[in-house]
Structure 1
């Protein structure tokens, strides 16, 4: 997510056939069976060491669109949990200190290693209620969108989106569509569909039809 467009419940939930499995995971965290359809690698703000927001983050009504972003961040090959946590802290610092926002602008962040992070405060709390928090990721459209920031820079159409990241993105979109009762073929969009920007980059944007289809298949399986 380029430019200056202006929760915390589980440590991680494991996707399974209707059963959430508990066990030891990366970084010493523990899987918590909260909702069987949540993404496999799911972490809240406490996990990655988020700063408190600079003001209240309001819970609002459910979104009608899921907006895919790229972070314009290095295309690291470090797919570790530690790297994912560091990236979340760096993005929050950028948004709060450079952009002057009250918190990270997007609701969720997905690392190149496929870790799904709660970005904006109270996002998990809201999603699990079928609601949303007011974000700061799509200028003029934040009241009805939920944003997913993807670590990396995908401007070059030949850049490869890591399979783990794309898989987690599909799981996340399916989770959100299930929570909000959305049709993935109608709801999933790129940042450039709303604002004058190259985000989420050509390599990721051209895979949105595939993402919609993959999300729909997951919903059908569930």
Structure 2
């Protein structure tokens, strides 16, 4: 089991409010259902630029809290039953995520690793499993730091 980090490849908005986070999550859900024909959002969770974490695919939060199952996602072929997909709102080719979003990502990865027994070394990027630019060059370059920060909190 692992965590796969994604970005939405959408605008790097400056509205960090909870309302903006909800609007973004609804936009993703509409895109995935109406355009892709999926039953729900493909990713398990969405992390807004303001650091608000929202459930993507229905049932993902209950499964995470229980730590005993994974809801089948649609975020990366071949990984949808083996990886928790976390979308990070924004485009991270040339810029890094804002601090609120980064801190939220670290904390959420810590919790997810604890719940599922995932070692921090198994926090990876979408591009590690698919020919894609996701999660963006700058966020992808931060993954070693993410693994280190998560491991430090976990005492690993």
Q: For residue 174 of structure 1, what is the aligned residue in structure 2?
A: 110
Q: For residue 199 of structure 1, what is the aligned residue in structure 2?
A: 134
Gaps of 5+ in 2: none
Answer with 1 or 2: which has the greater Rg. 1
Q: For residue 150 of structure 1, what is the aligned residue in structure 2?
A: 88
Q: For residue 162 of structure 1, what is the aligned residue in structure 2?
A: 98
**Cα distance in structure 2, aligned partners of 1:149 and 1:100:** 19
Once the 2 structures are TM-superposed, how far is the Cα of residue 219 of structure 1 from its aligned partner?
1.5
Gaps of 5+ in 1: 1-63
Q: For residue 120 of structure 1, what is the aligned residue in structure 2?
A: 57
Task: Specify which structure has the higher proportion of helix.
Answer: 2
Q: For residue 109 of structure 1, what is the aligned residue in structure 2?
A: 46
**Cα distance in structure 1, aligned partners of 2:57 and 2:148:** 27
TM-score, normalised relative to structure 2: 0.96
Once the 2 structures are TM-superposed, how far is the Cα of residue 140 of structure 1 from its aligned partner?
2.0
Q: For residue 94 of structure 1, what is the aligned residue in structure 2?
A: 31
Q: For residue 138 of structure 1, what is the aligned residue in structure 2?
A: 76
Give the total of aligned pairs: 155
TM-score, normalised relative to structure 1: 0.68
Q: Which has the higher contact order (CA 8 A, sep 6+)?
A: 2
Q: What SS does the aligned partner of 1:212 have?
A: helix
Q: Moved runs in structure 1, 4+ residues, more than 4 A?
A: none
* RMSD (Å), alpha carbons: 1.1
